[in-house]
Amino acid sequence: AAGVIQSPRHLIKEKRETATLKCYPIPRHDTVYWYQQGPGQDPQFLISFYEKMQSDKGSIPDRFSAQQFSDYHSELNMSSLELGDSALYFCASSPRSRADTQYFGPGTRLTVL
């Protein structure tokens, strides 16, 4: 079965640079969620989208923005990167009607030097 695809899988950036993470949801899933997991931490919700509109917002820094496109894929844009942004970034998808059972991608490991 098709799973959530995230790219790139690994990314190394310098402080103050920008990064773009991409997420391709499972076919026919119209809702996308982004989570951040710092070293030794539990996943924390950042933001979600349904039908290209932001549906929920969590602890996402103002330096980050995201959007969902007409093909339902989503991109997380991160600017002015800080050392503390080093983390695993997971994307998850679900049908709108079943946000309780989310399917997660393999994650993007971002390292900020």
Residues at the contact surface with other proteins, assessed by CB under 8 A? 4, 31, 33, 35, 42-45, 48, 55-56, 58, 88, 90, 92, 94, 96-107, 109
Q: How many CA atoms lie within 13 A of 36 on its CB side?
A: 18
For other proteins, give the closer residue by CB, 75 or 88.
Answer: 88
Q: How far apart are CA 36 and CA 91, in angstroms?
A: 9
For other proteins, give the closer residue by CB, 13 or 109.
Answer: 109
For other proteins, give the closer residue by CB, 44 or 79.
Answer: 44
